[in-house]
Amino acid sequence: MKVYKFGGASVKSAEAFRNIAHIIKTFGGDKQLLLVVSAMGKTTNALEHIFDLAHKGEPFDKEYQQCLAYHREVVEELFASESNPVHERLEHLFLQLQQSLQTVPSGASYDKFYDQVVSFGELFSSTILHYFLTNQSLQNTWIDSRKYINTDTSWREGRVDWNWTERTIKRDLPEILQNQLIVTQGFLGGTNNGFTTTLGREGSDFSAAIFAYCLDAEAMYIWKDVEGLLNADPKYFTDTIRYPEISYQETVEMAYYGASVIHPKTIKPLANKLIPLYVKSFLNPAAEGTKICNCRFEVLAPAYIIKENQCLISFSVKDFTFISEKNLGTIFNALSELRLKINLMQNSAISFSICTDYNQERLHRLIQTLNDQFVIHYNTGLRLFTVKNYDNNSINKLSADKEILLEQRTRTTFQLVCR
């Protein structure tokens, strides 16, 4: 069997849904297929915003109505018949969303209720896809991924219980796949006591890899709006190059540095079972794309990776002594408690600097925790640039006209934090 993952851009409009049906009919062949789908377009961002308003006790009706109207519009375009059950199902889900927004307890844990709300995006999109494919004579079963991917209560970053998940997936899904497609949600997991978790932003790739791993898939496909895995994001760079074939290892490293094509957790489960991952364009599905597998290439074109919205934090000791291993231990403990990930770090005689993704709430808690022991400075709104497999030319190209706050270089990797 194979796993196909369709991201937000591939379900952003009625036309995009039609294209999915076309891809499945043309390329799915007689294969057993499990389809993992993300929320439509920018729905997850919209839901984050709506949740944020609800959590602050501010009105969210306008934003909620916009989200509802967007989904209704697509459904109306896709389904000629007003009696198709999709309408009722979608309205019901939106009612549930409204209820969970209205009942966010004041002072409730932000991350836990975030998951209960933001997860609706994938429930909407997968529901629409289920009914639409049925209409297209593509028989399929909708399954609730929260009942198959079991996680702990690390909200917004659920940690998967692999044994339970594999057992449950293997128990139920192969039989369904004998004569039907399966449609399910990316990004979502469920806890033992019935709460929803999410697997981290852009986590649908990871969901697809979990299903691929547990079902021993022969391949996984990510259908995207780019031609494959490129050496740079075409939003920022012209003349990008596509890698026709690249190793798991190289891809993991690129994802770690922030290449947004693939969620960083996706590769490990696939590599463990040597399941090849194809990154293909849904706009040009016949094109070759990229094959990610257990291969080795010596020379690869330099890869340029940008992480936006970075924060550079520096800690210095108050009494002009040096930063000691004990100090570092204190800092690392606080970071790990707050789940702030270090994207880059640098040590000097009297200060220690780290670059992390900016998260206002966690940053403030970090400062509260460490304020009495360290002088802490920080800058926000920064970018972290990484060049993997760099050469002089690529460094010059990158450093030109930038205000550089921090620079670091190893034998294979060059990094800059800049404004």
Size of the site for ligand ASP (CB under 6 A): 12
Could you give the C-alpha distances from 148 to 151, 161, 191, 204, 341, in angstroms and in order?
10, 10, 10, 14, 28
According to the binding rule CB under 5 A, does residue 8 interact with Mg ion? yes
User: Which range binds ligand ASP by CB under 6 A, 37-45, 60-68, 90-98, 346-354?
Assistant: 37-45
> Which of 126, 310 has the CB closer to ligand ASP?
126
Binding mask 68-107 for ligand ASP (x = CB under 6 A): ----------------------------------------
> Which of 50, 418 has the CB closer to Mg ion?
50
Write down the least CB distance from residue 7 to Mg ion, Å: 6
Residue choice 38, 119, 126, 184 for contact with ligand ASP (CB under 6 A): 38
- The answer to whether 127 and 120 are in contact (CB under 8 A) is no
> Which of 209, 382 has the CB closer to Mg ion?
209
Q: Closest Cα partner for 190 from 212, 167, 160?
A: 160
Distance CA 223, CA 5 (A): 6
Size of the site for Mg ion (CB under 5 A): 2
Record the tokens describing residue 154, joined without a space: 């690390």
Distance CA 294, CA 280 (A): 18
> Which of 187, 257 has the CB closer to ligand ASP?
187
**196 binding partner (options ligand ASP, Mg ion, none; Cβ < 5 to 8 Å by kind):** none
Binding mask 106-145 for ligand ASP (x = CB under 6 A): ---------------x------------------------
Write down the least CB distance from residue 114 to ligand ASP, Å: 12
> Which of 11, 220 has the CB closer to Mg ion?
11
Record the tokens describing residue 107, joined without a space: 């002072």
Element (H, E) at 255: helix 248-257
- The answer to whether 214 and 151 are in contact (CB under 8 A) is no
**187 binding partner (options ligand ASP, Mg ion, none; Cβ < 5 to 8 Å by kind):** ligand ASP
Binding mask 26-65 for Mg ion (x = CB under 5 A): ------------x---------------------------
Strand, coil or helix: 316: strand
The residue whose Cβ lies closest to Mg ion is 8
Record the tokens describing residue 7, joined without a space: 């991201």
CA angle, 136 then 142 then 146, to 5°? 155
Give the footprint of ligand ASP on residues 320-379 (CB under 6 A): none
Write down the least CB distance from residue 38 to ligand ASP, Å: 3
Element (H, E) at 189: strand 188-190
Give the footprint of ligand ASP on residues 169-208 (CB under 6 A): 186-187, 201-204
Could you give the C-alpha distances from 220 to 126, 263, 316, in angstroms and in order?
18, 14, 47
Do strands 181-185 and 33-37 pair parallel, antiparallel, or not at all (unpaired)? Answer: parallel
Distance CA 282, CA 6 (A): 9
According to the binding rule CB under 6 A, does residue 8 interact with ligand ASP? yes
> Which of 8, 276 has the CB closer to ligand ASP?
8
**Could you tell me which residues come within 8 angstroms of residue 410 by beta carbon, excluding any fewer than 6 positions away?**
none
φ/ψ of residue 248, rounded to 5:
-55, -45
To which residue do tokens 């925790």 refer? 369
> Which of 130, 224 has the CB closer to Mg ion?
224
Distance CA 354, CA 313 (A): 5
User: Which range binds ligand ASP by CB under 6 A, 36-44, 70-78, 84-92, 270-278?
Assistant: 36-44
Distance CA 6, CA 20 (A): 8
**197 binding partner (options Mg ion, ligand ASP, none; Cβ < 5 to 8 Å by kind):** none
Write down the least CB distance from residue 225 to ligand ASP, Å: 13
Task: List helix spans (H) across 313-409.
Answer: 325-337, 360-370, 392-399
Write down the least CB distance from residue 120 to ligand ASP, Å: 10
Q: How far is CA 237 from the centre of its chain?
A: 22
Residue choice 10, 32, 44, 126 for contact with ligand ASP (CB under 6 A): 44
Record the tokens describing residue 193, joined without a space: 């006591």
According to the binding rule CB under 5 A, does residue 145 interact with Mg ion? no
Return residues touching Mg ion (CB under 5 A).
8, 38
Return residues touching ligand ASP (CB under 6 A).
7-8, 38-39, 44, 121, 186-187, 201-204
